[in-house]
Amino acid sequence: AQTVTQSQPEMSVQEAETVTLSCTYDTSESDYYLFWYKQPPSRQMILVIRQEAYKQQNATENRFSVNFQKAAKSFSLKISDSQLGDAAMYFCAYRSPSQTQGGSEKLVFGKGTKLTVNP
């Protein structure tokens, strides 16, 4: 079974600085999808960024980018120019390919990293 590990329960960053959140995963599959979700105090789960394993290019979404290292099974999230509104829990998640390919319709989540942004 796939597992996702976020080794940093808490992180902090100064406003306008850059921070990197770590995520590693364990899988025997060659094709899969990886996500970062943000959960602010409102509890809403918000998609930050998505990466398909077959794409070598790292995904980028405005100030958010990932460093996807397939061989190392690593998927870190970099937040540039941190803003107060970035303060939240961040979850890394893994999804198998379709069930017809032997996968499942399930997101496997890490335990989360709580990010604090200091003014």
Question: Residue 11 half-sphere exposure, CB side, CA atoms within 13 Å?
Answer: 25
Least Å distance, CB 101 to other proteins, is 8
From 20-28, 65-73, 76-84, 103-111, give the range in contact with other proteins by CB under 8 A: 103-111
Using alpha carbons only, how large is the chain's radius of gyration in Å?
14
Q: Does 55 participate in binding other proteins (rule CB under 8 A)?
A: no
From 21-29, 59-67, 75-83, 110-118, give the range in contact with other proteins by CB under 8 A: 110-118
Q: Which of 28, 30, 41, 43 binds other proteins (CB under 8 A)?
A: 43
Q: Structure tokens of 18? A: 């850059």
**Could you give the CA distance from residue 36 to residue 6 in angstroms, rounded to a whole number?**
11
Least Å distance, CB 70 to other proteins, is 16
Pairing of strands 33-39, 88-95: antiparallel
**Could you give the CA distance from residue 91 to residue 101 in angstroms, rounded to a whole number?**
25
Q: Which residues bind other proteins (CB under 8 A)?
A: 4, 33, 35, 43-45, 47, 50, 52, 91, 95, 97-100, 103-107, 109-112
